[in-house]
């Protein structure tokens, strides 16, 4: 895989979301392929999900996201994850240092947005992570990232998650590759998009067991 996400100064790949209904199954699946065991990060109150994390080097990480059986409410991602028996790369997040300005940029470009909305979770060690999230609603679905701005002073999950994996590339495929490239560019993200029969994400990881591709 040669295509990699190229970013402008303010916005960069923050994390990938690998969805599966059962968290333990997802942790075991990833460890078998990479040799790195993800550690539980906590649950997302009101979203219906919980996660486990692995650092991808730099300020990037992989989030295994699953259903939290102790929650009744569920968000848009939980509805998709509930049906997944095997892990699937669902979407990705891009980091921004000014999510309010990004939201205005998206609206000025003619997109509908959801947010920015505040989120938080408690870590197993008793800490608290806080962030703001913005979704830009387009016809291209999850190949367009959602955007995240971390709260001041938080320890980014890439720092204290298990190490051993690094991301080598993120390939974005879509039948309308040119249009996807234009949309991302209008949001401040430069990326190499390949033409594909259907929308897809493919991430190449360097791991203790060699290269692993997530799809």
Would you kindly state where each structural domain of the chain is located, as residue ranges? 5-214
Lowest mean pLDDT, pick from 74-78, 81-85, 185-189: 74-78
Residue 23: C-alpha distances to residues 91, 145, 148 (Å): 17, 23, 23
CB 67 within 8 A of CB 48: yes
Q: Counting Cβ atoms within 10 Å, is residue 205 exposed (0-12), middle (13-18) or buried (19+)?
A: buried
- Residue 205 predicted with pLDDT over 50: yes
The backbone torsions φ and ψ at residue 35, rounded to the nearest 5 degrees and listed phi first, read 85, 5
What are 192's two structure tokens? 């190499």
Choices 3.30.420.60, 3.10.180.10, 3.40.50.1360, 3.40.50.300: CATH for 5-214: 3.10.180.10
User: In terms of C-beta density within 10 A (0-12 exposed, 13-18 middle, 19 or more buried), how is residue 152 classed?
Assistant: exposed
Q: Is 163 helix (H, G, I), strand (E, B) or coil?
A: coil
Q: What is the largest CA-CA distance in the chain?
A: 46
For 119-160, what is each residue's pLDDT tens digit?
Answer: 888 887 778 889 999 999 999 988 999 999 999 989 999 999
**pLDDT of 77-117, one tens digit each?**
888 898 899 999 999 999 999 999 999 999 999 999 999 99
Nearest to 185 by CA among 116, 149, 136: 136
Residue 197: count other Cβ atoms within 10 Å of its Cβ.
8
């Amino acid at each position: 895989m040669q295509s990699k996400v190229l970013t402008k100064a303010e916005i960069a790949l923050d994390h990938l979301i690998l969805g599966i209904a059962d968290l333990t199954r997802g942790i075991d699946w990833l460890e078998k392929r990479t040799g790195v065991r993800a550690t539980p990060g906590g649950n997302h109150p009101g979203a219906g999900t919980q996660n486990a994390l692995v650092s991808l080097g730099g300020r990037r990480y992989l989030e295994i996201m699953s259903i939290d059986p102790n929650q009744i409410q569920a968000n848009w991602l939980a509805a998709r994850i509930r049906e997944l028996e095997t892990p699937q790369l669902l979407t990705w997040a891009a980091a921004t240092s000014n999510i309010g300005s990004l939201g205005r940029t998206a609206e000025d470009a003619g997109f509908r947005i959801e947010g920015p909305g505040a989120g938080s979770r408690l870590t197993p060690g008793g800490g608290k992570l806080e962030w703001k999230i913005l979704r830009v609603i387009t016809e291209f679905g999850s190949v367009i990232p959602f955007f995240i701005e971390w709260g001041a002073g938080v320890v980014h999950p890439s720092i204290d998650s298990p190490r051993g994996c690094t991301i080598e590339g993120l390939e974005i495929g879509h039948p309308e590759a040119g249009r996807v490239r234009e949309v991302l560019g209008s949001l401040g993200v430069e990326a190499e998009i390949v033409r594909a029969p259907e929308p897809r994400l493919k991430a190449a990881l360097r791991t203790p067991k060699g290269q692993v591709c997530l799809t």
